[in-house]
Every structure is written in C-alpha cells, then in structure tokens.
Chains A and B, each alone.
Chain A
Amino acid sequence: MNKALANILFTGFIFVMFTLAWIEALTFTRLAQFFPLYISLAGSTLSLVYLLKTLIDYRKETSAEERAEHIQILKPLRYVVWVLGYLLLIYVFGFIIATAVFLFVFLIYESRMKVMQSLVSMAITLVVVTYLSAAINIEWPASLLGL
C-alpha cells in the first residue's frame, strides 16, 4: 500500500477514535468528564487539522517518488497471525503445550532449524520457564482445558 495513503487512513482512524471518545465522554458525570472530554476534543480537532493537511499534501505536493513508497501488508500480517495463533493455542491447550507446539513449528517452518535443534531449543525453553515459574512464582494464562 502507498505509505502516504496509509498515513491518511491511520490519521482518519485516530480522528474517528477521538471523536467517538468525545461523544462517549459527554455521557460521564461532570467530575469524571472534564479530563477525557478536553483530551478527546483536542485530539479530535488536531487530528482533523492534520488529516486535512495530509490530504492537501497528498493531492498537491506528493511526488511520484513518494507515491511509489509502499508499506508491506501481507508479510507482517503473516507474523501477526503467528502471534494470534500462539495465543489461541494457549487459550485452548494451556501455556506449556502451546509453547512446545509453537516453538517447534515456528523453528522448523520459519527459522529453518533442524528437527533435533528445534527439539532441544524447545525443551530448554520449557525447562527454564517452568523453573522460573516455580522459583519466582510466575503464573501462566488460564486455558479452556484447564491444562
């Protein structure tokens, strides 16, 4: 995607977020209202000004070179899916099983590690996190299966 256009969309998102926050702040009582109301009003106004400025710049001044500057969408999305997949595994199977599966599959598929190396890395990580959990009382996220 064109970077300048992505910036406009992002600014638009921020404008919508501030505007919705401002509308929501109107429902608060007076003492709870003043801080979020002024912050969201300032944010909404400023983001609208910046949005208009970037739109004008985009239409008038953006050179062909700048228009050609693109940002990657699909590649980062792939790794975001890895993160979400890992969290989903934790949610269903629990931290230890999910971590074992995630590490093994990621190291084989993305890091191109050999099976033995992946297994050893995974095992060491699990031993370390389990030890840390016992030694400094770290808790794992709860899972659906209660594992």
Chain B
Amino acid sequence: MIESAIEALAIVLDPSRLIYMFLGIGIGIVVGLLPGLSGTVGMALLLPFVFGMDPYVGIALLIGMVAVIQTGDTFPSILLGIPGTSGSQATIMDGYPLAQQGKAAKAMGAAFFSSLVGGVIGGIALFLTIPFAEPLITAFSSPELFMLTMLGLSMTGLLAGKSVFKGILAGLVGLLLGAIGSAPAVPEYRYTFDSLYLTQGLSLPVVAMAIFAFPIIITMLTEKKKVSEVAKLEGGALQGVMTSLKNKFLMARSAVIGVIIGFIPGLGGSVVDWIAYGFGKKTVKNNTFGEGDIRGVIAPESANNAKEGGSMIPTLLFGIPGSGTTAILLGGLTLMGLEAGPSMITTNLDVTLSIVWTLVFANIFGAILCLMLIRPISKLSTISGEMIVPFLLVLLVIGAYQSSLSWGDLVVFVIIGLFGYLMTILDWPRPPLLIGFVLAMSAERYYWISIERYGWEWITNPLVIILAVVIIVLLTGGAIMKRFSRRIESGGESR
C-alpha cells in the first residue's frame, strides 16, 4: 500500500493536475465565503465539467473544492457572525466575540491552522481506515445512530447558557421546526398548512442564516456599531497559529471527533462542529467558551475539516453518501467512469489514494491561501454597520434563495429571523434551536426504525450503552466536577 501511495502522490503532483486542484480550491473558498452556498452547490456547479474527464483530474477538481469549503466559510462566521456554511455554525460562538474584541486576525489564524491540521488528520484517517473500514461501518445500525443523534441533542443542554429552561425550550422549538414536512415513517405531510413549499420541510441554510444573520444585521443597524468596537485590530494571524499549536491536543481530539462523525453516514456534517464545540467546552479547563475563547474556535474548525476525510470512507468504499455533497460526488465518480464500492480498494486503489493526497494538499494550500487573505479581509470588521449591512443583506437574500429557488425561502428567512432577533434581545440561546432543527429528522427516523425492527431490545446493545454513558457523563460530568472541586476548596479553607 505504501508503494501505491507513493505512486498516487506522483500522480497528484503532476502539474497539469495541480492546476485543477488549485481551481477547485479557489472555487471552494469562494463558495465557503458566500453565506448560504454549501458544498452541495459547489459540487453541483462542477459536476457538468467532470463528465468524461481523466479521473485524477476530475478528482483534483472536486476534492480540492470540497476540502476547503470548511476553511473559507470561517471568514463570514468570525467577521460577521454569519455561518458561511452549516458546518461553521459553532465557530460563531467564540469567533464573533473575538472579532468584536478586535482579535479577528488572531481568531482566523487559529481557525485556518486548525482547519489545516484537522483536514490533514482527516486525510490520514481515510488512508489508515481503508484496510478495515467494513466492520466499522456495519457496527453502526439505526439504534447506534439514534443514540448518536441523542448525543448531538445533549449539546443543547451544554449550550443553554445561564437558563437551562430557555436552552431546552429553544432545542424543542428546533425539533418542532424540523418536524415540518413529510414524515419519515409514512407518506404524510405535517404542519404544511396546504403550502407546497413546506412539504419539503425547512431548509437548513435558510434557518441557520435567519437565526444567526438576521439578528446581527438588525442589531448592527439599531446600535450603530461595527463588528469590532476596537479601532485597531489586535494580534496577527501568526499569534493565532501559535495559540493553536499550544492547544495541539484539543485540535487533535476535535479532529478525531470530526473523522468519527463524518464516517457515520446519515448523521450529517452540520452537527459535527457543535459536538466538537460541546466536547471542547466540557474538557478544556478554565474556559470562557461563548465569550471569546479562542479554543472555542479551534475545536469546531479542526473537526469540520477532519469530517471530510471521514465522510469519504463510506462514500468511496460502500457507495453510501453521508451528505448531499458526497451524494453528488458519487455521481461525479460515475461520470468519470468509476464506481464506488470494494473496487475502490482493489482495482482503483490508486484513485482512492489520490483522493487522500488531494485532501491533504488541498487543506494545506487552502489554509495558506486563507492565511494570506486574513489581513485585508479582517478589515471588514472595522467598517461601520450602516455601511456594510446593505451589501450583506443583498448577499443574504441571494444565499437564502439558493436553497430551493422559492420565495418561501425568503419568507421563512424573515419570519425565523424575527424570531431569532427576539431570542437575541431577550437572552434566549440560539444554538440549541439549530441543533434541534438539524437533528430532528435523524432522531425521528432512527428511533422509528429501531423500534420497528428491534422493539426495545436495542437498548441493550453494547454500543448503545456506551453512547448512553457518554451522554450521561457529558451532561452531569461538569456539575459533579464542580461540586467535587468546591468540596476540596471548602475542605482546604477549613483546615
């Protein structure tokens, strides 16, 4: 396999193919930069061009683009508090407060370096998993997938902020919004009120933009403020890179979470950043997550790039796409005369290994390019709200409309945006709503399949029990540790 890997490296580094990788990287960064456009849009855009292409060239283009979307989407998340794609929602939690403190460049330096490391770890994970991927994938059936969605939902408790009531209610609102549209178990529409648009359910990019972007544009205008209230931008990108290096274990841990979540088909990449953020919040000592802690940027950024490597495993080896993006990638492989499945690790091993190398190189080149763009782009945060908001609104309208090319997207954007604005001014946490929305469909589907297929026996599955323990530890661990440390402190004082 090492020999094949070296051969694949030579193929990838062929100048004629490198050009296409750079083209893919450029498109990926632009798609990531524009709020509302996702990897699916980028893939759909490039798909017509790969028909009949040399597979190595086509892969350089497609994988080059996919690998860096999660890097480019950091710009709007940190500078404007608007998720560039659904995979960078959690980056806002600390990235935007850092930008408000004039530390946008530092935050982005840390984010891009973490993305680079996460992406490379994702590529390595893909390489290492090739020989024994099958038993791992088949270990996850619907009960385990249901427990994983519960693990994601438990993050609502961690992100509830000061009021657990408000956090749980926001999560339930998200779950209810996610129930709009067709039911997974039967051909029946729910809460559609005879609207054709609602039969497809609400679109994630629209809900994400509405809940995060709309309140920010109204707040920036109302309070007549800039993103950064500090006139001088403190800290450079290099400082961010150094901070990431200091938090190497957090970066590595988050990347592993990203690989695992990406590896599991059907869970969706939209939740990976939240899970990494939640784990980071629980495991990092003395953190100020949510108030501008740079480690709150490192964790999700490392995870969302690592996810891409993980998601390639079921896609390439079993033809199971875990997301819209990988589903289109499967179509792209077919157009280039390849077929996903066991042949990807036998007769087409060189193609699979060229994907590994492309993932690694695209992440490195993409991060370097973004690091070079930090200085000019971070100046956006010092422009006053009144100057930047009208242009932002134009961009948001375009982005929201691309979801289903329907006016319903714009109506939903305004209605949920107003709801999000009220949540903002009344101190209700917004991330739990989005987590609930993202996981609603998976939670319902996997619960229903588990019950229909296994009755209640699935509860005794070893992997289900392990995941349940992880959830309980996550939810109660913090409180127990706090009580424990308080007891030690009070004991120390009494002596």
Q: A-side interface residues toward B, CB under 8 Å? A: 3, 6-7, 10-11, 14, 17-18, 21, 24-25, 28-29, 31-32, 34-36, 39-40, 42-43, 46-47, 49-50, 53, 71-72, 75-76, 79-80, 83-84, 86-87, 90-91, 95, 99, 102-103, 106-107, 110-113, 121, 125, 129, 132, 136-142
Q: How far apart are the CA atoms of A17 and B444 in the complex, in Å? A: 20
Give min CB distance, A132 to chain B, whole Å. 8
Give min CB distance, A15 to chain B, whole Å. 9
Q: Is the interface of A mostly helix, strand, loop or mixed?
A: helix
Q: How far apart are the CA atoms of A129 and B37 in the complex, in Å? A: 14
Asked if B196 CB lies within 8 Å of chain A CBs, one says no
Asked if B481 CB lies within 8 Å of chain A CBs, one says no
Asked if B173 CB lies within 8 Å of chain A CBs, one says yes
Interface residue count on the B side (C-beta < 8 Å): 53
* Residues 335 to 376 of chain B near chain A (Cβ within 8 Å): none
Would you give 6 A-B contacts (Cβ < 8 Å), ordered by A? A35-B448, A43-B176, A53-B165, A87-B397, A125-B394, A136-B45
Please, which residues of chain A bring their CB within 8 A of the CB of B190?
24-25, 28, 32, 36
Q: From known contacts A6-B426, A7-B426, A125-B391, infer whether A50 and B169 are also in contact, taking CB-CB under 8 Å.
A: yes
Q: How far apart are the CA atoms of A84 and B173 in the complex, in Å? A: 24
Please, which residues of chain B bring their CB within 8 A of the CB of A34?
448
Give min CB distance, B142 to chain A, whole Å. 15
B179–A79 contact, CB under 8 A? Answer: no
Q: B-side interface residues toward A, CB under 8 Å? A: 27, 30-31, 34, 37, 41, 45, 165-166, 168-169, 172-173, 175-176, 179, 183, 185-186, 188, 190-191, 214, 217-218, 221-222, 384, 386-387, 390-391, 393-394, 397-398, 401-402, 405, 407, 410, 414, 418, 421-422, 425-426, 428, 440, 443-444, 447-448
Which among B185, B222, B387 is the interface contact of A76 at CB below 8 angstroms?
Answer: B222
B185–A31 contact, CB under 8 A? Answer: yes
B169–A43 contact, CB under 8 A? Answer: yes
Q: How far apart are the CA atoms of A4 and B398 in the complex, in Å? A: 36
Give min CB distance, B26 to chain A, whole Å. 11
Q: How far apart are the CA atoms of A3 and B426 in the complex, in Å? A: 7
Q: How far apart are the CA atoms of A55 and B88 in the complex, in Å? A: 37
Q: Which residue of B lies closest to A14 (CB)?
A: B169
A36–B179 contact, CB under 8 A? Answer: yes
A39–B176 contact, CB under 8 A? Answer: yes
Give min CB distance, B451 to chain A, whole Å. 9
Please, which residues of chain A bring their CB within 8 A of the CB of B421?
76
Q: How far apart are the CA atoms of A42 and B185 in the complex, in Å? A: 21
A141–B410 contact, CB under 8 A? Answer: yes
Which among A42, A71, A129, A142 is the interface contact of B398 at CB below 8 angstroms?
Answer: A129
A35–B397 contact, CB under 8 A? Answer: no
Please, which residues of chain A bring their CB within 8 A of the CB of B407?
91, 141-142
Give min CB distance, B408 to chain A, whole Å. 11
Q: How far apart are the CA atoms of A50 and B444 in the complex, in Å? A: 26
Q: How far apart are the CA atoms of A20 and B463 in the complex, in Å? A: 38
Q: How far apart are the CA atoms of A134 and B341 in the complex, in Å? A: 36
Please, which residues of chain A bring their CB within 8 A of the CB of B214?
83
B188–A141 contact, CB under 8 A? Answer: no
Which among B30, B175, B222, B410 is the interface contact of A39 at CB below 8 angstroms?
Answer: B175
Q: How far apart are the CA atoms of A29 and B402 in the complex, in Å? A: 33
Q: From known contacts A31-B448, A46-B165, infer whether A24 and B191 are also in contact, taking CB-CB under 8 Å.
A: yes
Give min CB distance, A101 to chain B, whole Å. 11
> Given contacts A46-B168, A83-B414, A140-B398, could you give 9 more A-B pairs where the C-beta distance is less than 8 Å?
A3-B426, A10-B422, A17-B173, A29-B188, A50-B166, A79-B217, A136-B30, A138-B398, A140-B401
Give min CB distance, B448 to chain A, whole Å. 7
B397–A36 contact, CB under 8 A? Answer: no
Q: How far apart are the CA atoms of A88 and B181 in the complex, in Å? A: 26
Please, which residues of chain A bring their CB within 8 A of the CB of B165?
46, 49-50, 53
Give min CB distance, A24 to chain B, whole Å. 6
A139–B425 contact, CB under 8 A? Answer: no
Q: How far apart are the CA atoms of A53 and B31 in the complex, in Å? A: 46
Give min CB distance, B244 to chain A, whole Å. 31
